[in-house]
Amino acid sequence: MDAKADRSIEVLGRETLSKRFITLEKVTIEHATRSGGRITVEREIHDHGNAATILLYDPARKSVALVRQLRVPVYLNGGEGWMIETPAGLLDGEHPAEAIAREAMEETGYRVENAEHLFDAYMSPGTVTERVSFFAAEIDLAKKAGKGGGLASEGEDIEVLDLTLDAAFSMIATGEICDGKTIMMLQWARMRYGP
């Protein structure tokens, strides 16, 4: 593709199909093609806001704190439904570092004071607007500041897991961990902390 090619995008229409926990829109766009023409396409776009996730690592134990919770879409797609994941949540208008500190406390009971921002990523950019901010923090798994488990008011029933990094990493190959963000974080941890 010519670096100077016209790659302009024009939004021709937006129609809200549903607005509850998420906003679902039908968006019609016209954009320039690589060959120099123009094309019009319609897409259904899911928007529920941006999110953050964090890997909580205890260097003394070489362990991570993960959570297990029910994910209905996974269950409906033939999976067990109970997913092992890094703590995560929507930003709800907060800065990503503030939001992930709040989510880590709500979900795991561990206080996060110095989260390191690693990178941002779009997890499913074909239909979902969500951008996820990835963080890591070192903690002492023996020092919980709260009980964790999620918020009952949000229907959360979260189990906190303390796993060695090696055990968690091996669960990727067995399929016990199949959440994309968690796989990315565990791979990052192996690069940072070694096997």
- pLDDT tens digit string along 30-79? 999 888 899 999 999 999 999 999 999 999 999 999 999 999 999 999 99
| Pair (189, 121) in one structural domain | yes
Q: What range does the domain containing 29 cover?
A: 9-47
Tokens at residue 162, please?
């303390």
CATH number at residue 57: 3.90.79.10
Question: 43 with 61, same domain?
Answer: no
Q: How far apart are CA 140 and CA 65, in angstroms?
A: 10
Could you tell me the pLDDT band of residue 5, with boundaries at 50, 70 and 90?
Answer: low
**Residue 129 banded pLDDT, cuts 50, 70, 90:** very high
Q: What is the distance between the alpha carbons of residues 53 and 99, in angstroms, rounded to a whole number?
A: 9
Tell me if 56 is assigned to some domain: yes
CA dist 173 and 183 (Å) reads 10
CA distance 93 to 5: 37
Higher model confidence: residue 154 or residue 50?
Answer: 50
In a domain, 4, yes or no: no
* First CA to last CA distance, the chain: 41
Helices (H) and strands (E) in the chain, counts: 4, 10
User: Is residue 79 located within the same domain as residue 152?
Assistant: yes
54 within 8 A of 100, measured Cβ to Cβ: yes
Please check whether residue 1 lies inside any domain of the structure. Answer: no
What digits encode the pLDDT tens for the residues 59-72?
Answer: 999 999 999 999 99
Nearest C-alpha neighbor of 58 from the set 193, 181, 184: 193
Statement to judge: residues 116 and 28 lie in one domain: no
